[in-house]
Amino acid sequence: MSRTSRRTFAKVVAAGAVGLPLAAAETKSSPLASAMTAVVKSQSGKHLTPAELDRIGKDLEEYAPYLESLREFKLVNSDEPDFTFASLVRRW
């Protein structure tokens, strides 16, 4: 039976901690990110290069879980902002 050193064990754990979330992020495709990418492509696709569109799609894939968690946060009727907007224009 071979013994694993603490250093080898730490390297394996560190590699797994870095590699697994990245691999999981690549395989999981968000329908929200796909829809948002399609909107960007339809509205601004003629002004963007394919590399730029690809980068936008990757950014949206990265932000999709955060957007979905915001959507899941339910507000009740009594929730309101902490401030009230008032313009500086004098009204007669």
Digit-coded pLDDT (tens) for 41-55: 999 989 999 999 999
Angle ∠(82,80,64) on CA atoms, nearest 5: 95
Q: Put residue 32 in one of left, alpha, beta given phi > 0 → left and psi -120 to 50 → alpha.
A: alpha
Look up the pTM and report it: 0.51
Any domain includes 62: yes
Q: How many independent structural domains does the chain possess?
A: 1
Domain membership flag for residue 44: yes
Range of the domain at 44: 29-72
62 is written with which tokens?
């990265």
46 assigned to some structural domain: yes
Identify the three-state secondary structure at position 83.
Answer: coil
CB 21 within 8 A of CB 62: no
Is residue 22 in a domain?
no
Any domain includes 43: yes
Residue 80 or 26, more confident: 80
Please determine, for residue 25, whether its predicted confidence score (pLDDT) is greater than 60: no
Query: Among the ranges 10-19, 36-45, 73-82, which has the highest mean pLDDT value?
Result: 36-45
